[in-house]
């Protein structure tokens, strides 16, 4: 059994989730899977050659990862409250239309000034 292949498989599942799902929460879960797959290598390699440096790096990396996921979730909740959707495609469409509205408003203001 090989933990490197386990890490690759977990990363593949995470990338599949990132590419195929369009919900915010699925994106966060996929990112969690990818970071777990990446940091797992530190621990399992370190324990296989009996060196605790990898474990120390894992603890540092995992605490950062937890903080980042918390912040990402706060931003997601704020965005979903503002726009009322959790679908990334829908959000992209809304943001695009909002930008277009801003541009037309700016054009109107410039035209009025002239």
Of the two residues 23 and 114, which places its CB atom closer to other proteins in the complex? 23
Q: What is the rounded distance in angstroms from the CA atom of residue 91 to the CA atom of residue 110?
A: 28
Asked if residue 102 binds other proteins (CB under 8 A), the reply is no
Q: What is the rounded distance in angstroms from the CA atom of residue 8 to the CA atom of residue 77?
A: 31
Of the two residues 63 and 114, which places its CB atom closer to other proteins in the complex? 63
Taken in order 109, 110, 112, 113, is the CA torsion positive or negative?
A: positive
Burial 52-84 (b: 16+ CB within 10 A, else e): eebeeebeeebeebeeeeeeeeeeeeeeeeeee
Minimal distance, residue 109 CB to other proteins, in Å: 18
Minimal distance, residue 27 CB to other proteins, in Å: 10
Footprint of other proteins on this chain (CB under 8 A)? Answer: 1-2, 4-6, 9-10, 12-14, 16-17, 20-21, 23-26, 28-30, 32-33, 36, 40, 43-49, 51-53, 55-60, 62-64, 66-71, 73-78, 80, 82, 85-86
């Amino acid at each position: 059994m090989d933990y490197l292949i386990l890490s690759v498989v977990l990363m593949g599942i995470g990338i599949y989730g990132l590419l195929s799902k369009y919900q915010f929460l699925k994106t966060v879960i996929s990112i969690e899977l990818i970071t777990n797959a990446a940091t797992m290598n530190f621990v399992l390699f370190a324990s296989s050659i009996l060196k605790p440096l990898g474990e120390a790096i894992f603890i540092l990396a995992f605490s950062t990862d937890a903080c980042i996921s918390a912040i990402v979730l706060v931003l997601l909740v704020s965005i979903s409250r503002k726009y009322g959707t959790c679908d990334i495609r829908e959000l992209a469409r809304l943001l695009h239309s909002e930008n277009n509205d801003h541009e037309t408003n700016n054009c109107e203001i410039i035209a009025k000034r002239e």
